[in-house]
Structure 1
Amino acid sequence: MNKTDEEKLKHPYYKLMELRGDALETELNSWDRLDLIEWLSWNDRNGVYRDEESLEEFGNVCSKEEAIEIITRQIIQA
């Protein structure tokens, strides 16, 4: 693994992807809603998660609970 890969893996967004079960749930619950939205937008560039885009497309915003469910699903299926 080169230095760039090692640095990348230290980023909290990548570290999150290594968690499972209770550790993942605990970590996600400690984040605020906007941080969860940022992670979703980072992980799925084609997704609609940011409030402005979500309101425009779906007429609502992604709740913290919904964001946690989506992140958990994305990590488990990765």
Structure 2
Amino acid sequence: MSNTDQNYTTWLLEHSMLEQVRPLAARYSGKGAQWQHPYAEAQPRAASAAASVWFTAYPGAIITRDGQSVLATLGD
């Protein structure tokens, strides 16, 4: 492998999603923070505040308020 190819491969690895998540995983892995809230306790506002972008590939999994559409919930 040429030096250029090696440099590009290194750059790809450094910018991969897996590499970028390592510092976040280290903050939570094996720590009590991940168990502070029960899994069944939905916290949509906290989740949307922590994420700069929200994407759902399965609208049927979105829990809406009574009488509210999925789109209205996503826009709320």
Q: Same fold (TM over 0.5)?
A: no
Bigger-Rg structure (1/2): 2
What TM-score does the superposition give when structure 2 sets the normalisation length?
Answer: 0.34
Q: Which has the higher contact order (CA 8 A, sep 6+)?
A: 1
Q: TM-score, normalised by structure 1?
A: 0.33
